[in-house]
Amino acid sequence: MQGKKSLKYQVEPGGSLNGTLRVPGDKSISHRSIMLGSLADGVTEVTGFLEGEDSLATLNAFRAMGVEIEGPHAGQVSIHGVGMHGLHEPEAPLDLGNSGTSMRLLSGLLAGQGLAVTLTGDSSLSGRPMMRVIDPLTRMGAIIGATETGTAPLIISPNRHLKGIDYPLPMASAQVKSAVLLAGLYAQGETTVTEPAPTRDHTERMLQGFGYPVKRDGSRASLVGGGALKACRIDVPADISSATFFLVGVSIAPDSEMVLEHVGINPTRDGVISILRLMGADIEIENEQVVGGEPVADIRVRSSRLHGIDIPEDLVPLAIDEFPALFIAAACAEGITRLTGAEELRVKESDRIQVMADGLTVLGIEAEPTTDGLKIRGGRITGGCVESHGDHRIAMSFAMAALRASGAVEILDCANVNTSFPGFVHVANQSGLHIRQSEVS
Ligand code: S3P
């Protein structure tokens, strides 16, 4: 993952988006399928797996710990589970690239295994806060070293003596919740997490799918350590976070209509639909069904006139990865959009409040960052050159902004789009965006 070539996007202004598209598999569910499949008894068959760099980092980490994994071949993966105690100590540090989910969930999953493991990542991941997982895991008895500033590399020492805790999450984070629950699988007694607001619940759902009892009571999720996982089949839905670029692109572009197929619409993830509808978007949910414990549907979206809103704070955790794209929708909306209660955006793959405000300003849009959000006044988008800071979601969001720009939009540092949306440039072009990528030396 080191020494990646720098990529830039050049997006011509204007155009419409049309057609039917299945975006790649859900990143969160893909990570978890490898993790739980590896610890299960038997062979777990996964379809729709995201072949992006983040979920492949998780896959490679488990291979390095002795798990036989076939694929991915066109989204199919077979994981030969080694059981709860069958992982081997890896010979080298596990390089998790850009993936916060891999690092945080693995620290919980590995904390009580009795293995010595070091977790490393790229420069973005090495700057992200890890005390949020180290704190509760240490309370459970884990021994995890980090840098003085609480960042990776994380050094996990062998230990098999975790005890369950009752942990109130200080922030609405599914990664922290999942890290504690995964450590809880190896802890004595019961482990409970209470969340301040609902966050994505794929870990709880998938544990249940693998036959592991999880008690859920409002904002609390509990499990008792010492059980086992039974292999199962997992059909990974298309990622609503990747579909979001098209939901926004179609909404802001003229004469556009798309159907995004088989998208995961888990209610802990569907905030983007609620927010866009509040802004006046034309979105219909079709063919709703439940697949492997996760709600899935086709989403039809058409061009619309958007207007600015005050984004309700209770929707923030339900759309946490979608704000870069929603800021582009706000830039194209009539009036002012205000986001508050979203300080978590400052510690994502980049500081998404600052980086989006800077890029929008370059493109002629008034954007005022605050500590916990952003105020955007809709207006005319000009052409210009923006920095994505290696953040996949920033790069794809600004690509969609070109649909309403008066000049070409150039976006720098786009190679990390491959972490979550391999093939983005190809499918965006097929749908009607005029986007080219080139290597920068
Ligand atoms: C994720 C949780 C979220 C999200 C990330 C994936 C997960 O992070 O932003 O892209 O798979 O659990 P936080 O838990 O930090 O909010």
**What residue ranges define each of the domains in the chain, with the CATH number in brackets?**
7-19+242-256+274-281+304-439 (3.65.10.10), 27-235 (3.65.10.10)
Edge-to-edge order in the sheet of strand 384-387: 384-387, 409-412, 6-11, 435-440
* Closest atom of ligand 1 relative to the 200 alpha carbon: 12
- Are 234 and 47 spatial neighbours (Cβ–Cβ below 8 Å)? yes
Per-residue pLDDT reduced to its tens digit, 198-217: 999 999 999 999 999 999 99
CA 384 to centroid of ligand 1, rounded, Å: 31
Q: Is 349 in the pocket of ligand 1 (CB under 6 A)?
A: no
Q: How far apart are CA 123 and CA 303, in angstroms?
A: 38
Whose CA is closest to atom 15 on ligand 1? 173
Give the active site residue among 270, 321, 391, 413: 321
Q: According to the model, what pLDDT value does residue 4 have?
A: 67
**Which among 396, 441, 440, 438 has a CA at the least distance from the CA of 416?**
396
How many whole angstroms from 173 Cα to the centroid of ligand 1?
6
pLDDT tens string 126-161: 999 999 999 999 999 999 999 999 999 999 999 999
Residue 286 · residue 262 · CB < 8 Å: no
Cβ of 321 below 6 Å from ligand 1: yes
User: Active site includes 321?
Assistant: yes
317 Cα nearest atom in ligand 1? 16
% of the chain with per-residue pLDDT over 70:
99
Q: What are the residue ranges in the chain where pLDDT is below 70?
A: 1-4
Best mutation site among 173, 240, 244 for ligand 1 pocket (most ligand atoms within 8 Å of CB): 173
Query: In this structure, which residue's CA is closest to atom 4 in ligand 1?
Result: 321
The three-state DSSP-derived secondary structure of 171-230 is: CCCHHHHHHHHHHHCCEECEEEEECCCCCCCHHHHHHHHCCCCCEEECCEEEEECCCCCE
CA of 188 to the centre of ligand 1 (A): 27
Tell me what pLDDT residue 296 has. 98
